[in-house]
Amino acid sequence: MATWNEQWDRVKRYYDRFRKINEGFEGHGEPSENYFDDMWAFFQNCYHLKDWLKKGSFQSAKICENPEKYVNDTPCLAICGDLTNAIKHMGLREDYPKKSGVEPKPVNRSMSVIGGSPVVILKANIEHKGKIIDAFELATECMAAWNAYL
Domain extents for the chain?
A: 32-54+63-149
Convert the pLDDT of each residue in 17-75 to its tens digit.
Answer: 999 988 887 766 677 777 788 999 999 999 999 999 998 888 777 777 789 999 999 99
Q: Can you say how many angstroms the Cα of residue 141 is from the centroid of all Cα atoms in its chain? A: 9
pTM of the model: 0.86
Rounded distance between C-alpha atoms, residue 117 and residue 125, angstroms: 24
Nearest CA-CA partner of 45 in 9, 89, 86, 94? 9
Query: How far is the CA of 24 from the CAs of 56, 84, 106, 118, 120, in angstroms?
Result: 36, 24, 20, 9, 5
Min mean pLDDT across 32-41, 75-84, 85-94, 117-126 is at: 85-94
Rounded distance between C-alpha atoms, residue 141 and residue 138, angstroms: 5
Rounded distance between C-alpha atoms, residue 66 and residue 70, angstroms: 6
| Phi–psi pair at 141, nearest 5 degrees | -65, -40
